[in-house]
Amino acid sequence: MLSTSTTPSQRRQAFRAGLASGRLQVFPGAFTPLSIRLIEDKGFDGAYISGAVMAAELGLPDIGLTTLSEVAHRAHQISRMSDLPTLVDADTGFGEPMNVARTVHELEDAGVAGLHLEDQVNPKRCGHLDGKAVVDLDTAVKRIRAAVDARRDPDLVIMARTDIRGVEGMDAAIDRAKALEAAGADAIFPEAMGTLAEFEQMRKAVSVPILANMTEFGKSELFTHQQLADVGVNLVIHPVSLLRIAFGAIERALDTLQSTGTLDGEVAGMQTRGRLYELLDYEAYNAFDAGIYTYNGR
């Protein structure tokens, strides 16, 4: 009721244990605080908080327009509603190394279990689009060092994302990933890998956990969890999927409403009031009220 029963530190430890478990961790993207309740209810290991989704929900493209305050606020709203560890997209860290340090503090305070910082230049782009540019190695390393040094909770997972594969190719991606690991990154997010063999190559090149981004309409095929586990990937995200699924359904329903004048035919596919209340733990609120208002201590 009201919020999670665990502390951020417990959720960070759970995230680290999951990454070290040898079992693929599956993090669907929670696009709202309510959706993390559903992800938790279905038994997933954690939830991803996507920058692309956050921007889209504000009606903005994912080109670095969202602010640290907006991201931290949303990350807090989502992270506080479940016991699952959350991994948040911190884009390029919102500025220079000192800004990156502040980003880490804000996101730590927001209760996330981990965050990733990427090596794109500002303004950044979706990692699966063409026309991206990356910063030089020194700048990329300084971002990660600043984040690692700023962290107050040693269990906060600092993940380094490299977008260099789509710009300079796989050899450059391997070199950069190694350098980011050496700079203190706890995990590597190799963006826009083309094939399973590339994931495998990356897995062999670094000793920290690696992430696979199974975003739709991107550069990677949508590999199954089994395929990813088989090449040693430690964590998979489905970052924008729930938003795409919801908006696909919403658009179809709006068309139906427009053409038929009723949503009666859509009700069977809707989440019921009962299921919504279950996710909200409505019962517990009733019980709380009953406990307070029926109290007769005299």
Ligand X SMILES: C[C@](O)(C(=O)O)[C@H](CC(=O)O)C(=O)O
Candidates 51, 114, 190, 209; binder of Mg ion (CB under 5 A) is 51
How far apart are the C-alpha atoms of 241 and 222, rounded to whole Å? Answer: 12
- Does residue number 173 form part of the binding site for ligand X (CB under 6 A)? no
**Residue 8's closest CA among 83, 97, 61?**
83
Instruction: Give least dist CB 51 to ligand X, A.
Output: 4
Site string for ligand X, 189-218 (x = CB under 6 A): ------------------------x-x--x
- Does residue number 28 form part of the binding site for ligand X (CB under 6 A)? no
Instruction: Give least dist CB 54 to Mg ion, A.
Output: 9
Site string for ligand X, 133-172 (x = CB under 6 A): ----------------------------------------
- Using left for φ > 0, alpha for ψ between -120 and 50, and beta otherwise, residue 153 falls in beta
Q: Does residue 105 carry a catalytic annotation?
A: no
How far apart are the C-alpha atoms of 213 and 292, rounded to whole Å? Answer: 47
How many residues bind Mg ion (CB under 5 A)? The answer is: 3
How many residues bind ligand X (CB under 6 A)? The answer is: 13
Could you say which of Mg ion, ligand X, none residue 240 binds, taking C-beta under 5 to 8 angstroms by partner kind? Answer: ligand X
Exactly one of 62, 119, 155, 186 is catalytic; name it. Answer: 62
Structure tokens at 13: 């430890």
Residues 164/118, Cβ–Cβ less than 8 Å:
no
Q: Does residue 286 carry a catalytic annotation?
A: no
Could you say which of Mg ion, ligand X, none residue 111 binds, taking C-beta under 5 to 8 angstroms by partner kind? Answer: none
Site string for ligand X, 71-110 (x = CB under 6 A): ------------------x---------------------
- Does residue number 128 form part of the binding site for ligand X (CB under 6 A)? yes
Exactly one of 40, 106, 108, 191 is catalytic; name it. Answer: 191
How far apart are the C-alpha atoms of 19 and 195, rounded to whole Å? Answer: 22
- Please give the residue ranges that form the binding site for Mg ion (CB under 5 A): 51-52, 89
- Please give the residue ranges that form the binding site for ligand X (CB under 6 A): 50-52, 62, 89, 126-128, 213, 215, 218, 239-240
Hey, which residues are catalytic here?
A: 48, 62, 89, 91, 116, 118, 126, 161, 191, 213
